[in-house]
Amino acid sequence: MPLNNREMDELFKLGPGTPSGEVFRRYWLPVETSANLDGGRGPVRPSAKNPVRVKVLGENLVLFRDATGKPGLLEEHCSHRGTSLVYGRVEDEGLRCLYHGWLYDRDGNCLDMPAEPPGRRFRNSVKHPSYPCVEVGGLIFAYLGPPELQPPFPRYPALFREDGMRVAGKGNRIQKSNALLQTLDNVLDVWHREVAHGWFKGGEPVHALHHGYNGAPATPIRFETTPWGACYVTLQNTRTPGVYEYHETHALFPCQRARTDTINWAVPMDDHTTRWFGVSFVPFGPDGQISDAALRRLHADTPADAGGPFYEGWFEDVGYWWNTGHPLRQGPIWEDEAIMSTQGREERGGLPDFEKMTFGSSDRGVLLMHKLWDEQIARVQDGIDPVGIVRGAESEQIIPVPGQVAFVDREEGMRLFNTPLEERIATLAEKVQAR
């Protein structure tokens, strides 16, 4: 069934009060990295850092850290006369506005109004908009939804495991595209990984996912729903004879893609701009150390850098069959940028013309994500938690996201492929520990 532009336009709006925006606001979202917040130095308290402007879901906000070390997130414009608080001064108790010196703590309480007569209780009547924050794994998260519906913070393995080494990204990757395009139309699009990101040499295996390398059997692919969203599972040939890549990628609602050791968030700044955050984790080996190979994987930009079973010179020789030699070719990040940002049409205000899109059997993952997102909108409108929100005692448990790439023979790979999700989690966790 063709998509309807009017319905899709409403789906892709993410501001306050919009159907999709309200779904996003039921989750904890990363808004900044700890490293970026801790840059600069304040003039009063030597340990104080300058406030940082952030934009999330169309809202202009300011982030700071008070004397307790805890982050606070406030609406950017002062409740007095609207001056931006990003030019304010961080003090022990909070953030003071440049214009008339109103001082706010991280909960939005106004602690001081220097220009008002002493003894007045006027300041007690002012409550500046603020959002709760959690800092973990090198990232600062915020909850922008109704306070009475605030969920426990999700305990993702990459954020909470302590038996290894963790690295947080810099949060500097910003794309001119809608975040729902990144999540709904890209994360479970397994075929674009083959074509756009060029996991093959030259132009030979455009249909590698169907036929495998060198005439090998067809690659099995399965899409399935999970307690936190959806995933695809594949078993693909590699360039090493007899070695296969067992691969899972999980879409965690509202905007994450994850494997056992890595999680990335495509966070909407507004309807047309997406900011990426990420955390990677490598566990200690049996000797309590992290191997050189594991460190390479942690910092790798390509499969060859990671030491996977690919032929030598993968990075130099791999053919992006549609743009080999293109002067702007910069790897997977650029490719996703080109894919997402050029779908928008000028006559549609930067949004894609959904009515002119043609979907085929290769788009099963995309259509599944559209269906699941529609379901989350309905759940939120009915007062029900969207998928992935965990409350009660279960919220204290680590979320067992599988999906680690594992290099196996075909028999073992097919056994994993046909194993139910709950059983795969333990099996893949053992393989991660052994690497």
DSSP per residue, 308-345: -S--TTHHHHB--TTTTT-TT---HHHHHHHHHHTT--
- How many independent structural domains does the chain possess? 2
Neighbours of 346 (CB within 10 A): 6
Task: Indicate whether 71 and 200 sit together in one domain.
Answer: no
Task: Indicate whether 142 and 171 sit together in one domain.
Answer: no
d(CA 369, CA 264): 17
Task: Indicate whether 123 and 175 sit together in one domain.
Answer: no
* pLDDT at position 297: 59
Task: Indicate whether 260 and 365 sit together in one domain.
Answer: yes
The structure tokens 């220009």 sit at 115
Task: Indicate whether 161 and 186 sit together in one domain.
Answer: yes
Reported as a single tens digit per residue, the pLDDT across 341-360 is 777 777 777 778 888 889 88
Phi, psi of 86 (to 5 degrees): -65, -20
* pLDDT at position 210: 47
* pLDDT at position 406: 65
Q: Which of 116, 149, 182 is the last residue of a domain?
A: 149
Q: Which of 87, 116, 149 is the last residue of a domain?
A: 149
Reported as a single tens digit per residue, the pLDDT across 378-420 is 999 999 999 999 998 888 888 887 766 667 888 988 998 999 9
| Two tokens, residue 106 | 């991280």
Is residue 257 within 8 A of residue 428, CB to CB? The reply is no
The structure tokens 């909070």 sit at 94
* pLDDT at position 192: 76
Looking at residue 188, its amino acid is L
**Beta 406-408 vs 256-259: how paired, if at all?**
unpaired
For residue 46, cis peptide bond before it (omega within 30 degrees of 0): no
Tens-digit pLDDT string for the chain (435 aa): 678 888 888 888 899 999 999 999 999 999 999 988 876 444 444 455 789 999 999 999 999 999 899 999 999 999 999 999 999 999 999 999 999 999 999 999 999 999 988 877 888 889 999 999 999 999 999 999 999 999 999 998 889 888 888 888 777 777 777 878 767 788 888 877 767 665 433 444 444 554 444 444 457 888 999 999 999 998 877 767 788 888 888 999 999 887 767 888 999 999 888 898 988 887 787 888 877 766 665 655 444 444 443 323 333 333 333 333 444 444 555 667 677 777 777 777 777 888 888 988 888 999 999 999 999 999 999 999 999 999 988 888 888 877 666 678 889 889 989 999 888 887 776 655 554
Task: Indicate whether 254 and 309 sit together in one domain.
Answer: yes
Task: Indicate whether 176 and 76 sit together in one domain.
Answer: no
* pLDDT at position 332: 57
Assigned domain for 6 exists:
no
Task: Indicate whether 336 and 415 sit together in one domain.
Answer: yes
Task: Indicate whether 320 and 399 sit together in one domain.
Answer: yes
Assigned domain for 19 exists:
no
Task: Indicate whether 79 and 193 sit together in one domain.
Answer: no
CATH number, domain with residue 59: 2.102.10.10
CA distances from residue 343 to 183, 272, 351, 354, 422 in whole angstroms, order as listed: 15, 12, 7, 9, 37
Structural domain for 359, as ranges: 157-434
